[in-house]
Amino acid sequence: MYDRPDARPRVPNFSSGPCAKRPGWNLDALRDAALGRSHRSALGKAKLKQAIDLTRTVLRVPDDYRIGIVPASDTGAVEMAMWTMLGPKTVEVAAWEAFGLEWVTDALKELKISPRVHKGPYGVLPDLSAIDTKHNDVVFTWNGTAAGVKVPNGDWIAADREGLTICDATSAAFAQPLAWDKLDVVTFSWQKVMGGEAAHGMLILSPRAVARLESHTPAWPVPKVFRLTKGGTLIEGIFKGDTINTPSMLAVEDYIDTLSWAERIGGLDALHARADANARVIHDWVARTPWIGHLAADPATYSNTGVCLVLADPDVLARGDAAVAAVASGIVERLDHEGVALDIGAYRDAPAGLRIWCGATVEAADLQALTPWLDWAFAQEKAKLAQAA
């Protein structure tokens, strides 16, 4: 039996989105926001351009790639790319969790382009070598937020590819190295690794993606909020701060603040190091803790952001799925009630378990303080299960 811990995480926010704010954040960080001003004013456009420029600097985006702020978060950015660029080539979609499956649905049921679908169960990547990355367009998620499984690198993508790669990088950008030379479209949202506020997405396009946009007319109607060209030419203003619809200037200021923090602490290398160190706390705890395990099957694919865990205690597993779900949800509810860990339940479509965000805005000390509470909460829930038998 584990004793009730004394030390508590200073910040109990371990949600996988929106994620914890950067260390030291408070409302004063937003005091320079362009509130009550048009986003099309000189000030509004300057703020949006600053967010784009800082994104390029911190994320080390190649100089010839365009960066745009788009509506509807990462989902909107991915769908914008799919609806405007797919069609000329065979499409391959890789999915191993809920969000990747959404892109399968878009391609299969909405765009009706008969994609080749490569599925893996939660915790396991599909066979990436079976994807024809040389000849076809490819849609995939770099880091599966709901499964805690990432692609290890971009080596599986052909260097001499003829198609486009569309990469949903929302839980990978700023935390994991992205193979820019292998990626034509990269999307993410502010509320993940950088702890920003919701509703805004980022769309990053390679020159090859721009060429596709300017040479291809989709066979389906394209909604206004997805349109990236006019008269067959890229709308360059989108990538200079002239957004398609009205953004929250308060959220823009918050994103600028977090990017500025990233620059102060050492840029992308520091962000990667923080996420790696945070995830190591949880990975090391799992390695020495018999009642818990990783949802990801292969250590080479372990995420360093949304770490997804499943129960491994044989006594609980022997009681069946309902018991496993009850213990997992009990841990989540108990620690939420204690104010020790907020929003750590598994994604609703994922196997029952826990999901603990380890991105760069989280402090390793808070994760270290969390693990004894996880042990204690499990012991409490297991005892409760035994009493109910």
Q: Is residue 367 part of a domain?
A: yes
CA distance 278 to 288: 16
pLDDT at 1: 67
Domain-ending residue, one of 210, 244, 262: 262
Residues 102 and 177 in one domain: yes
**Average confidence (pLDDT) over 113-137:** 97
pLDDT at 2: 84
**Average confidence (pLDDT) over 210-232:** 96
Which residue(s) pair with 144 in the sheet?
A: 149
Which residue(s) pair with 92 in the sheet?
A: 116, 138
Report how many domains make up the chain.
Answer: 2
**Beta carbons of 231 and 211 less than 8 angstroms apart:** no
pLDDT in tens, 10-23: 999 999 999 999 99
Which residue(s) pair with 200 in the sheet?
A: 71
Contacts of 299 (CB under 8 A, 6+ apart): none
Residues 187 and 54 in one domain: yes
Residues in the chain: 389
Domain range for 351 is 267-388
Reported confidence tier of residue 125, pLDDT bands at 50, 70, 90? very high
Residue 346 belongs to domain with CATH number: 3.90.1150.10
- Given a cut of 80, whether residue 57 has pLDDT beyond it is yes
Residue 221 belongs to domain with CATH number: 3.40.640.10
Residues 192 and 239 in one domain: yes
Residue 27 DSSP label:
G
Residue 107 DSSP label:
I
Helix (H, G, I), strand (E, B) or coil at 111: coil
Mean pLDDT of the chain: 97
pLDDT at 383: 96
Residues 80 and 202 in one domain: yes
Contacts of 177 (CB under 8 A, 6+ apart): 153, 272
pLDDT at 389: 76
Which residue(s) pair with 166 in the sheet?
A: 139, 185
**Average confidence (pLDDT) over 177-197:** 97
- Given a cut of 70, whether residue 275 has pLDDT beyond it is yes
CA distance 241 to 48: 5
Q: Is residue 2 part of a domain?
A: no
Quickly tell me which residue has 């694919």 as its tokens: 301
**Average confidence (pLDDT) over 317-326:** 97
Residues 345 and 361 in one domain: yes
Following CA atoms 79, 84, 88, 93 in sequence, which dihedral angle do they give, to the nearest 10 degrees?
Answer: -10
Residues 200 and 275 in one domain: no
pLDDT in tens, 221-230: 999 999 999 9
CA pseudo-torsion sign 278, 280, 283, 285: negative
- Given a cut of 70, whether residue 196 has pLDDT beyond it is yes
Helix (H, G, I), strand (E, B) or coil at 71: strand
- Given a cut of 90, whether residue 198 has pLDDT beyond it is no
Residue 3 DSSP label:
P
Quickly tell me which residue has 């169960």 as its tokens: 121
Domain-ending residue, one of 216, 244, 262: 262
Domain-ending residue, one of 238, 262, 286: 262
CA distance 359 to 354: 16
